């Protein structure tokens, strides 16, 4: 089964009803194979943005982990050198840590799609230096 690697945007949009991509994100969440995979950098970004934009606590994100809807199989300490290389390679595009972790995760789980709102960025990023990363993203 194709795994979905969830980025910050769809997490925030799912919970924040005022987000422009809320409805689209909800529709995709309904189709998504569970569990959705992510990394702690994505969760940290999402927790911060939910608190700043919508006044929501990170408890909602943690509930997704507790219920098995989200899984965090990625350990940054095991992939730090490769993630650092990605950050260096895409520094002109201002790649974020969460993005680099998702690119690395897509290398580890080849049968995957990155579930993101940042289509333009992820169309630039490459796994294994040259391969296009399959996406679930708004048109």
Structural class in CATH, domain 3-136:
alpha beta
Nearest CA to 3 among 136, 138, 139, 130? 136
**How far is Cα 65 from Cα 71, in angstroms, rounded to an integer?**
6
| 137 contacts 28 by C-beta, under 8 angstroms | no
For residues 37-52, give the mean pLDDT.
Answer: 97
Q: Calculate mean pLDDT across residues 21-46.
A: 98
Look at strands 126-127 and 131-132 and give their pairing: antiparallel
Percentage of the chain exceeding pLDDT 90: 94
User: Would the CA dihedral through 83, 97, 139, 124 be positive or negative?
Assistant: negative
**Three-state DSSP class for residue 34:** coil
Contacting residues for 114 by C-beta, under 8 A, at least 6 apart: 4, 5, 7, 102, 106, 122, 133, 134, 135, 136, 137
CA 122 to chain centre: 11
Contact criterion met (CB below 8 Å) for 8 and 137: no
Domain range annotation of the chain: 3-136
Digit-coded pLDDT (tens) for 61-89: 999 999 999 999 999 999 999 999 999 99
Residue of 3, 48, 44, 13 lying closest to 118 (CA atoms): 13
**Count of alpha carbons within 13 Å of 1, Cβ hemisphere only?**
9
Per-residue model confidence as pLDDT tens digits over 2-29: 999 999 999 999 999 999 999 999 999 9
């Amino acid at each position: 089964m194709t795994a979905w690697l969830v980025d910050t945007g769809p997490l925030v949009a799912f919970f924040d009803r005022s987000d422009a991509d809320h409805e689209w994100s909800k529709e995709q969440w309904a189709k998504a194979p569970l569990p959705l995979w992510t990394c702690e950098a994505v969760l940290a970004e999402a927790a911060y943005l939910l608190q700043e934009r919508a006044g929501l606590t990170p408890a909602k994100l943690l509930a997704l982990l507790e219920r098995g809807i989200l899984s965090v199989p990625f350990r940054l300490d095991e992939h730090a050198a490769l993630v650092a290389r990605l950050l260096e390679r895409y520094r002109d595009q201002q790649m974020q840590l969460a993005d680099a972790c998702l690119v690395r995760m897509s290398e580890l789980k080849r049968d995957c799609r990155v579930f993101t709102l940042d289509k333009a960025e992820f169309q630039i990023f490459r796994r294994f230096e040259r391969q296009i990363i399959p996406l679930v993203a708004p048109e």
